[in-house]
Amino acid sequence: MTSNRQPGVVLTDRHFTVPLDHTDPAGEQLEIYGREVVSSGRAGAELPWLVYLEGGPGFGARRFVGKQAWLGRAVQEYRVLLLDQRGTGRSAPLNRQTLPLRGGPQAQAEHLARFRADSIVRDCETVRQRLTGAAPWTVLGQSFGGFCATHYLSTAPEGLRAVLVTGGLPSLDAGAEDVYRAAYPRIQRKAEAHYVRYPQDVERARRIAAHLAEHKTVLPGGYTLTPEAFQSLGILLGGGEGSHQLHYLLEDAFVRTSRGYELSDAFQEGVLATLSYAGHPLYAVLHEAIYAQGAEPTDWAAERVRAEFPQFDAATALAGDGPLLFTGESVHPWHFDVDPALRPLRDTAEMLAARTDWAPLYDPARLAANQVPVAAAVYHDDMYVDTAHSLRTARAIRGLRTWVTDEYEHDGVRAGGPRVLDRLLSLARGEL
């Protein structure tokens, strides 16, 4: 094991071998990576473990420096494992470069079906038993990490000392269509609130979209920026600073050149950094699959449901005089046309969208009998996870305690850091 020091903490690389298919433990194996973090003054102490499950899907665990965000509070009493979920970070990463090693699109789709919450939780149990033996650990799940934690409660509660969820209580029974039918009105509210805060951005956004409709625009690296792709910058609006970030991006959009006004290099680079899936392609490929249970295919639910909300149509907005609405956390077939990181995976994504044999993710009866202490931060009008869905699930999990707040957006555990984690720990322990 390799260890390094950062301000106030000691970091140690941890590697684990787990089955690709947990129903075949003797079959193909994957190497899973986790970064152990402990306070530098307690590196040799016997401490309980806390495992952090990042949001996504498709993101590796956050790379903190020192005691950033919630981590400083956690290492006061825990040895923390920042786990890269399978397929992300340093855990057998999957992307357009590595997936062809599995074969063609059909083989890739079959492989990717083993990279949902059910397999992630089985990985966690394998890792826990190797780190702690019989001792349970605490799980902190952010966003999709909370979905994984809810599956954990459904299938292996004996491995859990406590569960802390931030912005990630999923519906137990809503399909992808239900999720997006609830999402588009929230996204509209976030976009309208942005324009109230920055009214000058109404004309800026319309001007940019009109330019993109008239001029094919290919960003550095080959990303084709269409009006619809531009609208998806609304993904920023789900974070506490996202509206401000979007505003600053829009205000630098155009520069005057010898050929007239053009989109600036700075704007194009900023858009590419926000929209490209090169660093997290599984977010796009598996996004709707995280909601799939049973025989109903997801079938590009976000695209189909969007047609029920014509106010999001860019051409209609530009033909009128109203504001262009941004969209948010939704993945569409055209993402696999405009983004070079996704183009080679288009057929694979189509096969996943058509799949009809998804395993159930949650066990309502077991959750109703839950005995593990659970606390969840539910962010009021969370853009990414429907608040009503979360509260219905909170009522379905025995003993779960909620903290419903509008102080933070979806990224509250990072923005509010020590305070958010401290509140959840107090709730789970019955101190509040």
* Domain end among 332, 354, 376: 354
Name the residue range of residue 400's domain: 3-173+362-428
H-run or E-run covering 38: strand 29-39
* Domain end among 354, 382, 408: 354
Please check whether residues 168 and 182 belong to one and the same domain: no
Tokens of 237: 């609006």
Please check whether residues 138 and 221 belong to one and the same domain: no
Output the domain CATH number for residue 121. 3.40.50.1820
Q: What whole-number distance in Å separates Cα of residue 367 and Cα of residue 395? A: 10
Backbone angles phi, psi at 158, to 5 degrees: -65, -20
102: exposed, middle or buried (Cβ count in 10 Å: 0-12, 13-18, 19+):
middle
Which residue type is seen at 274? Answer: T
**pLDDT in tens for each of the 432 residues of the chain?**
799 999 999 999 999 999 999 999 999 999 999 999 999 989 989 999 999 999 999 999 999 999 999 999 999 999 999 999 999 999 999 999 999 999 999 999 999 999 999 999 999 999 999 999 889 999 999 999 999 999 999 999 999 999 999 999 999 999 999 999 999 999 999 999 999 999 999 999 999 999 999 999 999 999 999 999 999 999 999 999 999 999 999 999 999 999 999 999 999 999 999 999 999 999 999 999 999 999 999 999 999 999 999 999 999 999 999 999 999 889 999 999 999 999 999 999 999 999 999 999 999 999 999 999 999 999 999 999 999 999 999 999 999 999 999 999 999 999 998 999 999 999 999 998
Please check whether residues 326 and 196 belong to one and the same domain: yes
- Residues forming beta bridges with residue 401, ordered by sequence position: 375
Please check whether residues 272 and 219 belong to one and the same domain: yes
Q: What whole-number distance in Å separates Cα of residue 129 and Cα of residue 13? A: 17
Tokens of 101: 């090693």
Q: How many CB atoms lie within 10 A of CB 297?
A: 19
339: exposed, middle or buried (Cβ count in 10 Å: 0-12, 13-18, 19+):
buried
The distance between the two most distant Cα atoms of the chain, rounded to a whole number of Å, is 70
Question: Which residues have a Cβ under 8 Å from the Cβ of 256 and sit 6 or more positions away?
Answer: none
Please check whether residues 347 and 403 belong to one and the same domain: no
Q: What whole-number distance in Å separates Cα of residue 153 and Cα of residue 166? A: 15
Of residues 312, 231, 319, 330, the one with CA closest to residue 271: 231
Tokens of 243: 């509206």
Please check whether residues 164 and 80 belong to one and the same domain: yes
Q: How many CB atoms lie within 10 A of CB 226?
A: 18
Please check whether residues 349 and 373 belong to one and the same domain: no
Please check whether residues 285 and 255 belong to one and the same domain: yes
| The total number of structural domains that make up the chain | 2
Write down the pTM of the prediction. Answer: 0.96
Residues serving a catalytic function are 143, 357, 410
